[in-house]
Structure 1
């Protein structure tokens, strides 16, 4: 499987595109369906013409839910950056571009949606998106034009995404596991289940793992595994995976916690960082939120100079 996240301004058609491609409704909450507004992460999957399986992590575009967007894009190796033909580049387009650039994501597509609403603007919107993405890993990404409403361009989208995924470097199935958790829930008769995007390493039924979060570390055991609603005995990267855990409870787990290979990851509460984009560190507030994987963690920033700081 390949995992692809969406990105782009609110109401530019990210969820509609995912729904048209997969036949799966990515909006999981009643409030999302009633308001027509994605609030939290959504998940769907499909098979491409080549036989590649791809899972989509659909993210909210509204500025109020930027933290949820970052949790979806954080572990994703590939992004579909969506811009609507009728509105063009907007405020949250820029926020999402900055997030994708900061995460170092270099593989993906530029997708111009709602082409049926403003066909005369399509070429200008593609050019505008390329100009705004200049200097990021998506600057040279292929561009496709779709209308999920009438179904045009979806075959071209699938072919273009297939070509992008064919070039994505293969992850290491023997690497240590660090699964950033984006959901935790309970299933009657099974117990606690967590989900996330496995980007490296392999999980197997019976594995003993460490669950690390705000409450510290817990030793847990993998009771069972699922992907695309199918039970498996082991699963490697890159995959969306649901892990049934023994040795913990849903109440002890939060988005941003991690499932780790034991004794393989150093832990620190101090980092030194270098600025690549945005304001000089001397102009950044002292109290910040650090986004890593699916986590958003409060931190104190101490500038060392304009380009370097300690968190």
Structure 2
């Protein structure tokens, strides 16, 4: 809900005019406004408003024809947005943005609850000419990793804005999502950023704090690059794992600070990236604060670290960006960077503009694991995550779950947003927020999945897996209880090894049983398990229904 009422005051002061771009509606209902004949006339009216505003119209909902603020219940406002979206589609337009304000509800009916009657809304919907944006097929998603204070967020901040850093991590603030993160200078959850490219080069944001700037990048760029920025602080390793395992990433970007060099956390993050078979590049950051000799020394340390795990390093300074583009996946490119001086930024731009989108499951049935959820006033519950497979469109009927009892909930897609821009559909690999009808936000949990309503998904409490034990102080026996990170879920589970035990370095089979509830698990999915210093990776080989 927007606190600034200036847009509402301006719209009310301007008022409805014949031949103008502003329209007042108390509310819109399916029964009345989508009836035969009515829909066509309202779509024609909407088209007229859009053309009168040179491609943009403003609809004020919850306001009477004379401009008096009425206010309607949240449910009525949601229905009005659904109807307005259908009218816009009929008029070859789309809703680009919605702002809402709470006021005393003047139009509550006897059928509405007392709570709803006290939570009236008035809102402004901005409509634009043309259909909603369809994102490009070459949208690349990059996951960042690296030790705390090694500059990965600062580097991404400079990439998406083109701004030089102030030497104090100023550009990293463009990615932080919680006030305490800004205050402490530490990221505690996943953050997201986007930039893109057109025929003239990079398309960046002037001010990433303005959601309109992010939306403009999505609208203007021919090719998009999204970043999932993870957490470097050791206590939040589980969040880093969630970011690298739970998102459908195309590439990994590992940051190593030139003043500090590779650390234990660096090696741990590299292990996760490689365990998920993610093509990875390494950025040596903070090259502006050390000598050339120290940069070369850290580069040698990174090369040695990569060789230790069977990877081939490719220093871009010596071999060039073109070699990195051609060979990434079989080699790990290493770049020297500094957001303060701008060193390496052009090389990263060249890489991200040219790197191909990895094969995805765009033709498979739709599936998305939920990473987070939130409620939007006037819209309702929104589930956010990366589309794992298939395509989703507004109006699709889906299943959400499994719920703790193993059942799935029937829901309908109300609308889809990508980096604050409404899109008509989203394909595999897109990071999106999906507004859902049929469920309350409090019922949505991380790790749940969205799938087609006719897919008959099976909730899984137990599965068979092949695992590799990367680190463990003794042996893993029956009843061992790590946390399993698979897609976006992080859940305590029990292991029951096929031969009764697993030793460090072992590759073996085990039964994995979730302790508390079932999830949607499928053969072939990879996962990470962790308990204290013990860590390993695995692949689902078969599942047992709940």
Q: Check whether TM > 0.5.
A: yes
- Paired residue secondary structure (2:470): coil
In 1, Cα distance between the equivalents of 2:252 and 2:469? 19
Alignment match, 2:364:
175
Aligned equivalent of 2:226: 55
Task: Work out the CA distance in 1 between the residues paired with 2:263 and 2:417.
Answer: 38
Matched, 1:185 2:374: yes
Residue 303 of structure 2 corresponds to residue 130 of structure 1: yes
Partner of 1:273: 465
- What is the alpha-carbon distance in structure 1 between the residues aligned to residue 235 and residue 283 of structure 2? 23
Give the corresponding residue for 2:510: 309
> How many corresponding residue pairs?
308
* Match in the other structure for 2:241: 70
Match of 2:160 in 1: 22
Unmatched runs of 5 consecutive residues or more in structure 1: none
Within 5 A, what are the aligned runs for 1:56-135? Answer: 56-74=227-245, 75=247, 76-105=249-278, 107-118=279-290, 119-133=292-306, 134-135=309-310
- 1:303 Cα offset (Å): 1.7
Matched, 1:234 2:407: no
Q: Deviation digits for residues 238-268 of structure 1, max 9, x if unmatched? A: 2111100111111111222221233264442
Q: Which shows bigger deviation, 277-286 or 37-46?
A: 277-286
CA pair 172-88 structure 1, distance change in 2 beyond 3 A: same
Q: TM-score, normalised by structure 1?
A: 0.91
Question: When the two structures are superposed, what TM-score results if normalisation uses the length of structure 2?
Answer: 0.53
Q: Distance in 2 between matches of 1:38 and 1:202?
A: 31
Using a 3 Å threshold, how does the CA distance of structure 1 residues 283 and 162 change in structure 2: closer, same or farther? farther
Contact 1:109–1:138 (Cα < 8 Å) also in 2: no
Query: Does structure 1 conserve the Cα–Cα contact (< 8 Å) formed by 2:195 and 2:225?
Result: yes
In structure 2, stretches of 5+ residues that fail to align are 1-138, 162-172, 203-221, 312-327, 503-507, 513-546
Q: CA RMSD in A?
A: 2.2
Distance 2:428 2:461 in 1: 28
Q: Once structures 1 and 2 are overlaid, which stretch shifts more, 75-84 or 291-300? A: 75-84
Q: Measure the CA separation in 2 of the matches of 1:308 and 1:281.
A: 19
Structure 2 residue aligned with 1:144? 335
Q: Paired residue for 2:350?
A: 159
User: Are the counterparts in 2 of residues 223 and 244 from structure 1 also a CA contact under 8 Å?
Assistant: yes
Measure how far apart 1:26 and its partner are.
0.9
Find the residue that maps to 1:189 and give its secondary structure: coil
Q: By how many angstroms is 1:132 displaced?
A: 2.2
Q: Deviations over 1:3-27 (max 9, x none)?
A: 1110111111111011111138111
